[in-house]
Amino acid sequence: MRYSKYFIHTLYEVPKEAETPSHINLLRGCYIHPVAAGLYSLLPLGHRVAEKIKTIIREELDAIGGMEVTMPVLNPAELWKKTKRYYDIGQELFRIKDRKDREFVLAMTHEEVITEIAKAFLKSYRDLPVMLYQIQTKIRDEARPRAGLLRVREFFMKDAYSFHADFDDLDAYYPRIFNAYLRIFARAGLKTVPIEADSGIMGGTGSHEFMLESPHGEDRFVVCSRCDYRANTEKAVGIKTMREESLDLQPPMERVGTPGVRTIADLMAFFNIAEDRFLKTVAYEADGQLVLASIRGDYSVSETKLTNHLKAIKLEMASEEALTARGLHGGFLSPVGLRSVRLILDTSVGEGALYVAGGNEPDVHFKNVMLGRDFAEAECVDIAEVRHGDPCASCAGGILEIKRGIELGHTFKLGVKYTAPDTMDVTFLDASGAQQRVIMGCYGIGVERLMAAAVEQWHDDSGMIFPVTVAPFQLVLTALGQKEAVIGTAERIYEELKDRYEVLFDDRDESPGVKLKDADLLGIPIRVVVSQKLVKGDQLEIKVRRTGEVIICGRDELAGLLPELLEKLKPSLDGLPYMPE
């Protein structure tokens, strides 16, 4: 491909709206173009990268028996109402009507459609197991699209769905998809960390996220310093150190006036005690019902854990109106004297320990509050977010470290969430002729997000450094100068290489500085330079973009060197944390 004929218009200035490395470099390299907030066109270079990612995905899923389908983006609302997701999902779901006033949604996932397909065709145990997948456009009305391709409103997603006769078969198949994901990300040049995750709105009995550690990631996850425990902070569990109290010192609860003392810092100074001696109570509305969550002051409530325990569809902070209606006051909440309100107590609140808690009236707190003596035992579960430095609950010897990451993919054991009688009601006949419920798994990967993640991981001050497996071209052939000897040599090399490699031939009449700068900006793995000085010695210059290695070689050596260099740049699949199959 000749640069002069290709659609490349690089930017030398950093776009004002771009902040993350991937957003900056994909714009500067002419890979993407913004259409609106969270909407991007993939330009020819970006399209080539996306297609290479899709090819890797297809190869790995086909290898484990996957079969590709295509489902419509426009879905009848009735399907989504069957699973109740039409009502459960908030404003992220686009809801529209056609000219005949029929309701539709723009699909953000395709569980409803694929399950309807399964219901129509999977009638017997002989039809199971089966895995169908697609790479299709998804639409999501993100409240705050940001960071270029990392959080957008329209994107390509690979979503795969497996159907099984029982949970044992799903459990047996799950490692195959897990390991295929590891290979997909590794082949794309991405170093991922598989972690235990919460299933969220997808539901199900178990799931994993595949994270790329990055300071620009929106997700947080924990890793243990000793064992292989990895989990999203929404799901992670650590060991909570409990305070020791002398059983001989149990002063009675005391009401204390605290006018003007509102913040934790002010309360700590007022009572001259540490944060872990406070009982913090937070009010929520769970599907419209008031719920109070009490936790030790040095921990924070994990709304995901609380939502899961309550089995709530929607959890939000309680309004002042809801509190006032119950005679409660925000900022002074406490389980003491609580009546007719559901209370969830975190396991950090120990028996026999004394706390300072809200007084359930303005400018009042209770001192020396004790669980079991001053307020009744409640539902006691883990609703706390883990903290950096908490002991690991898995090995009890390691320390949990919190890291930031970009989620590249997510796998779920859905079970019967979408095949149950109150949703899509999908059954099959087993070998004995009895009706059985179909068991499901689902598995997603964002295509553009992988492109952006590759840039987040591989870039320097000069631009992107695409892994060779997903780069738009394997090498850029750069002719420096317009002298006949240089152009003639470059033309001959291009003709020799173009049928064996993906070559971008920079044949433009531009200065050497512009050409070399653009070569770096585009992130193509290998640069081959032809210059007047090199031609005189019948030589060429090869630069490996990732390492900066420069090789001066004879022209007749090029054909032998390129395969070796490209092979060295291929990501390794060795040492991946495969799940036993």
Backbone angles phi, psi at 34, to 5 degrees: -75, 140
Residues 503 and 439 in one domain: no
CATH number at residue 28: 3.30.930.10
DSSP-assigned beta bridge partners for residue 283:
292
Q: Is 372 left (phi over 0), alpha (psi -120 to 50) or beta?
A: left
CATH number at residue 516: 3.40.50.800
Dig out the tokens for 59 from the structure: 């190869």
Residues 422 and 478 in one domain: no
Residues 66 and 206 in one domain: yes
Residues 266 and 171 in one domain: no
DSSP-derived secondary structure letter, 301: B
Number of domains within the chain = 3
Angstrom distance (rounded) from CA 363 to CA 457: 51
Burial label for 200, CB within 10 Å (0-12, 13-18, 19+), is middle
> What is the DSSP pairing of strand 154-164 with strand 439-446?
antiparallel
Residues 337 and 285 in one domain: yes
Per-residue pLDDT of the chain (581 residues; tens, 9 = 90+): 999 999 999 999 988 889 899 999 999 999 999 999 999 999 999 999 999 999 999 999 999 999 999 999 999 999 999 999 999 898 999 999 999 999 999 999 999 999 999 999 999 999 999 999 999 999 999 989 999 999 999 999 999 999 999 999 999 999 999 999 999 999 999 999 999 887 654 445 678 999 999 999 989 999 999 999 999 888 899 999 876 665 566 899 999 999 988 788 899 999 999 999 999 999 999 988 999 999 999 999 999 999 989 988 889 999 999 999 898 998 899 999 888 899 999 999 988 889 999 999 999 999 999 998 899 878 899 999 999 999 999 998 899 999 999 999 999 999 999 999 999 999 999 999 999 999 999 999 999 999 999 999 999 999 999 999 999 999 999 999 989 999 999 999 999 999 999 999 999 999 999 999 999 999 999 999 999 999 999 999 999 999 999 999 999 999 999 999 999 999 999 999 999 99
Angstrom distance (rounded) from CA 119 to CA 430: 15
Q: Residue 409's domain spans which residues?
A: 11-214+405-456
- Contacts of residue 574, defined as CB under 8 A and 6 or more positions apart, other chains included, come to none
* Three-class DSSP category at 114: helix
DSSP-derived secondary structure letter, 201: G
Domain boundary among 429, 456, 483: 456
Angstrom distance (rounded) from CA 185 to CA 197: 18
Backbone angles phi, psi at 245, to 5 degrees: -120, 140
Residues 69 and 136 in one domain: yes
* Three-class DSSP category at 578: coil
Residues 332 and 415 in one domain: no
The pTM assigned to this predicted structure is 0.90
Residues 375 and 429 in one domain: no
